[in-house]
Amino acid sequence: PRIEKVLFAATKADHLHHESHAQLQAITRRMVDGAIASIGMAGAGIEVLALASVRATREATVKQDGHLLPVVVGTPMAGETIGKEQFDGLRKTAVFPGDLPHAIEPLFGANVSKPDIALPDLNIIRFRPPELDEAGGLTLSIPHIRLDRALQFLLGDRLA
């Protein structure tokens, strides 16, 4: 058997505003450049996607100090903390996830033990899955980001 398709997926895209998804894909692609070159020479199809198999947040905009900030809104898991605030797993909150850089090469030239550029501290918040809506007595589908594109790429020709 021969590998025909390879998908490199950056998951948890719902933790970022859609404005950062292209950068997330670019960073992922750069991380796997060597593998992409090898796989491509073997003739396999390659795709890089930012996705979320379960979308636990929604996007919004918050005005702070006269500026509009793109945020994600969700329910942090019980025990998650932002600064000194600890969440109970019941209350929704808006989180500014930060911006991914447009120029990604400096990230890959950084020496982690002796950085030339300041690497940011990361605080990744875990969000509860969404409550599923119902219509006509049926539970609607689980919200996602680009899971359909991933399945189409991997299985689409097999199902046609």
- The domain limits of the chain are 5-55+102-159
If you ran DSSP here, which 8-state letter would residue 66 be given? T
pTM over 0.95: no
pLDDT computed for residue 40 by the predictor: 76
> Is there a contact between 81 and 41 (Cβ–Cβ < 8 Å)?
no
Supply the pLDDT for residue 99.
Answer: 82
Burial level of 144, CB count in 10 A (0-12/13-18/19+)? Answer: middle
pLDDT in tens, 110-134: 666 665 666 667 778 999 999 888 8
- Give pLDDT < 50 ranges for the chain: none
Q: How far apart are alpha carbons 73 and 76 in whole angstroms?
A: 9
C-alpha triplet 77, 27, 54: angle, nearest 5°: 35
Across all residues in the chain, what is the average pLDDT?
88
